Structure 1
Amino acid sequence: MKRAYNFNAGPAALPEWVLQEAQKSWMDFNNTGMSVMELSHRSKDYEGVHNEAKALLASLLSIPEDYEILFLQGGASLQFTMVPMNLLDNGQTGYYALTGVWAEKALKEAAKIGKTEIAASSKEDNYTYIPEAGDIQVPENAAYLHITSNNTIYGTQWQTFPTGLKVPVVADMSSDILSTPIDVKNFDIIYAGAQKNLGPSGVTVVIIKKDLIKKNPALPTMLSYETHASSNSLFNTPPTLAIYLLSLVLKWAENQGGLEAIATINNKKAETLYNVIDNSNGFYNGHAAKNSRSKMNVTFTLQSDELTKRFLEEAKQAGFVGLNGHRSIGGCRASIYNAVPLEHVEALAEFMKTFQQNA
């Protein structure tokens, strides 16, 4: 079977090794005579999977002991609500850096809970750039600053993060977590839907500083971080299969040499595609400003809608999947998450060159 050149934005490519390992135990996990999907989440066999996933994530990201790791459901979209519900106290204000649609959605949900303000925005330039981290200032009495580290639709990514603030920093890292080393201590909450770099859809990772977890009887039970932290994310039935596959992805990342090695490959993949765009004499035009370019989502347009349509049709015929730009801005987008092999990116680069020559 020939694997597709999968450039989907999410759910996205998974490492072949992960799929093969999962296949080995599909019918019989750990000699239980059952699939992981069939195990009780209260069983010792599943508990081992659950805790190993936490330990692997803590090791790969060097997560300090004063942080809790939670496996939740509802995607990053539910975190748009949980963050303000748990952090936005009466009289305080949540500050948001607007760098794309998902940041807008996070702000919209927070505004339903309490007071919000925009700390910085690139909306006036159709989100082609990331605001300067050093220019972002928020009052010391703010509830938090929220950022979206990578913007899948527009192909922009924070190159440096705001530091030295006196308020909690919350980051939606759904589309670039595990792609490069980060200093977790610079953030008070990191959350990420798994379906891009961490595993399949269905589980959301939340890394939260323990001193932000408070018991608040007024909160709905399932929307309180304390509920999940106090029960090792086992208050209700978790997405057991998704967490098992997440643990395999983390093992794969460890086997690649960790985040330093993964970042080296990701840099090479991004450089390969951006070089084609930059050397095309305007045939391909990148959406993002060069100093804000994403290493996860390469967005570009061609010289006309007709040419774009032809490019996408021929790319599909050649086995390339998921290159359509987001419906809100059109154009093209190649999502080159961790699991997308360098060889697939090089094949796309060659296709782009050949398409330009024949256009």
Structure 2
Amino acid sequence: MPSREDITYFGAGPALLPTDVLNTAAAALVDYNGTGLGLAEHSHRSELATGIVNKAKADLATYLDVPDDYEILFMQAGGSGEFSATVYNLVGVWVERRKQKILKELGIKTEKDIPEDELVKQLQKAVDEELKIDYLVTGSWSLKASQEATRLVGAEHVNIVADARKVNDGKFGKIPEESSWKLSKNPAMVYYCDNETVDGVEFPGFPELLKPNGEEGEPIVVADMSSNILSRRILVKNFSVIFFGAQKNLGSTGITVVIIKKNLLPPVVATPSPTLLRKLGLPIGPIVLSYETIAKNNSLYNTLSIFDVFIAGQVLQKSLKSFPDKVDGQQAVAEKKAKLIYAALDAHPESYKVVPDKSARSRMNICFRVTHLANIDDAEKLFLKGAVEKGLTGLKGHRSVGGIRASNYNSIPLSGAEKLAEYINEFTKTHR
């Protein structure tokens, strides 16, 4: 049986974790800091747990240069849970802001000065005619996000800004030109997935069309960065909400991180009452997906997995020690690894086909097909078998699309990328 040192695991998630972090976590699981109890046994209400949460938040803010007017939340339910949470929370923000606009237009100071039925009538008209949630559909995850919004609020309130399949023969693999995007006027949010793990598509940078337009809080941009967070520099102030599951670049499965602008939380903006939302026919989210509730309780409203936060914190501490220039240093390594692997694939066009267009190639999830045999399935089985023999594992593509996928997350060492590039070159020579 191979040892941990014998393999490089390119799985898409849960992903490889640094061995030294796992060794530290393993010891903490048995006895944390000489307390006689393992970390998973300590109360999430303890001072110890609060310290772990606060340290991880501070280190994440340092590593990414998160401004002071943002809050960091540790939540549960994964990125898929955030497909729902963003709808629940930001539709609520939209309703509250629209209510305040109605009161201002009527010259009324507070909602107590207008009959409730009249206010509900005005709001209902606004919801029916104006409420939109915008989605850029560039891959499997953004498609699922838009489908969840449709399930929660109805297709009439969901606007597909762009669908990449329409510019790529019915398949994902490109990002439509911004000139073709059809944004709504003042949507509750504009969502996009910065990196699509299934389809190997990554935005090369922040979209020009979504940059702040000078009006306070506009547009409200939500980004799913589950699979490329911590791998490159981002300008946090361009976003209203960033969310990501921990299990790619940050830690282990079990926690989801939300970075949210504080002007989307009380006391800056109130949360509509459940009674009002019911009257408007809008969904009311579970309280554990309420950003207000999680923020008020410093991420400890319910039993958070402190052990998983600890692992994430250890990864952040290691990253800060490894890269004095913070995320910029990690970005340089990520790009070097990706270039090595893509260069090997591009050198043999007769044997490999990179799936996404060159303009949208992901640095994190390198998706390709092995084409040098008449039967692609046979060629890919042969490729995968040879890869495992060399200690290169986790390369099988997502079940929905097949092919090969090398997930080049932060914990993949440069030597691992070099080994894969060497194998790509070797395979095409030995299997003609």
User: How far did 1:131 drift?
Assistant: 2.4
C-alpha displacement at 1:23, in angstroms?
A: 2.9
Shift of 1:113: 2.5
Question: Residue in 2 aligned with 1:239?
Answer: 305
Corresponding letter in the other structure for 2:305: P
**Pick from 399, 415, 419: which aligns with 1:327?**
399
Are the aligned partners of 1:216 and 1:224 in contact in 2 as well (CA < 8 Å)? Answer: no
Distance 1:42 1:100, change over 3 A: same
Q: Which amino acid aligns with 2:259?
A: I
- Please name the residue that 2:53 is paired with: 50
Counterpart in 2 of 1:147? 192
1:224 aligns with 2:290: yes
Q: Structure 2 vs 1, CA of residues 107 and 45 (structure 1 numbering), >3 Å: closer, same or farther?
A: same
Is 1:6–1:321's contact at 8 Å kept on the other side of the alignment?
yes
Q: Where do 4+ consecutive residues of structure 1 move more than 3 Å?
A: 132-137
**Within the alignment, does 1:337 sit opposite 2:376 as a pair?**
no
Q: Does 2:313 align with 1:274?
A: no
Match of 1:105 in 2: 144
Output the amino acid matched with 2:303: T
SS of aligned partner of 1:25: helix
Deviation at 1:18, TM superposition (A): 1.1
What percent identity do the matched residue pairs reach? 40
RMSD: 1.4
Partner of 1:189: 241
Q: Which moved further from structure 2: 253-262 or 209-218?
A: 209-218
Q: Distance in 1 between matches of 2:46 and 2:179?
A: 48
Q: Which residue of 1 aligns with 2:28?
A: 25
Shift of 1:112: 2.1
Partner Cα distance (1:54, 1:2) in 2: 30
Matched, 1:119 2:161: yes
Aligned to 1:307: 379
The 1:312–1:144 alpha-carbon spacing in structure 2 relative to 1, beyond 3 Å, is same
Q: Distance in 1 between matches of 2:381 and 2:80?
A: 31
Cα distance in 1 for partners of 2:301, 2:158 equals 31
Aligned to 2:271: 215
- 1:241-280 CA deviation, whole Å, 9 max, x = no partner? 1111010111111112121110111001000000011111
Q: Who is 2:206 aligned against?
A: 161
**Residue 229 (structure 2) pairs with residue 177 (structure 1):** yes
Query: 2:159 touches 2:184 (CA, 8 Å); kept in 1?
Result: no
In 1, Cα distance between the equivalents of 2:34 and 2:244?
32
Q: Secondary structure at the match of 1:159?
A: coil
- Judge conservation of contact 1:133–1:160 (CA < 8 Å) in 2: no
- What letter corresponds to residue 318 of structure 2 in structure 1? W
Closer, same or farther in 2 for the Cα pair 1:265/1:241, shift >3 Å? Answer: same
Give distance in 2, aligned partners of 1:12 and 1:77.
17
- 2 CA distance for matches of 1:281 and 1:293? 16
Aligned counterpart in structure 1 of residue 133 of structure 2, from 65, 73, 94: 94
Q: Is the 8 A contact 1:30 1:45 kept in 2?
A: no
Q: Residues 194 and 203 of structure 2 are in contact (CA less than 8 Å); yes or no, is this contact kept in structure 1?
A: yes
Residue 40 (structure 2) pairs with residue 61 (structure 1): no
Give unmatched runs, 5+ long, in structure 2: 96-126, 275-283
Q: Give the match's secondary structure for 2:49.
A: helix
Tell me if structure 2 keeps the 8 A contact 1:133–1:161.
no
Higher-helix-fraction structure: 2
Map residues 252-291 of structure 1 onto 2, 5 A cutoff.
252-257=318-323, 258-291=326-359
Indicate conservation of the 8 Å contact 2:396/2:405, yes or no: yes
Instruction: Give the TM-score of the pair, scaled to structure 1.
Output: 0.96
Q: Aligned in 2, Cα 1:61/1:135: closer, same or farther, shift over 3 Å? A: farther
C-alpha contact (below 8 Å) 1:140/1:167 kept by paired residues = no
TM-score normalised according to structure 2 size: 0.81
Separation in 2 of the partners of 1:311 and 1:281?
Answer: 16
Whether 1:36 aligns to 2:39 is: yes
Compared with structure 1, are the counterparts of its residues 134 and 55 closer, same or farther at alpha carbon in structure 2 (3 Å cutoff)? Answer: farther
The 1-side partners of 2:82 and 2:28 are apart by 32
Q: Over alpha carbons, which structure has the higher Rg?
A: 2
Q: Which piece of structure 1 moves more, 182-191 or 221-230?
A: 221-230
CA distance 1:295–1:253, shift in 2 (3 Å): same
Structure 1 residue 330, shift from structure 2 partner: 0.8
State the alpha-carbon separation in 1 of the partners of residues 79 and 292 from structure 2. 18
Ranges in structure 1 where 5+ consecutive residues have no aligned partner: none
Alignment partner of 1:298 is 2:366: yes
The aligned residue for residue 84 of structure 1 is 87
- 1:93-140 Cα distance to aligned partner (Å, 9 max, x none): 000000111101100111122210100121232111122346545233
Deviations 1:37-64 (A, max 9, x none): 0111111111111110010111111111
Check the 8 A contact 2:139/2:173 in 1, yes or no: no
Q: Deviations over 1:66-92 (max 9, x none)?
A: 111110000000111111111124341
Q: 1: distance between equivalents of 2:402 and 2:319?
A: 32
**Do the aligned residues in 1 keep the contact of 2:194 with 2:228 (CA within 8 Å)?**
yes
Decide whether the 8 Å contact of 1:70 with 1:228 is kept in 2: yes
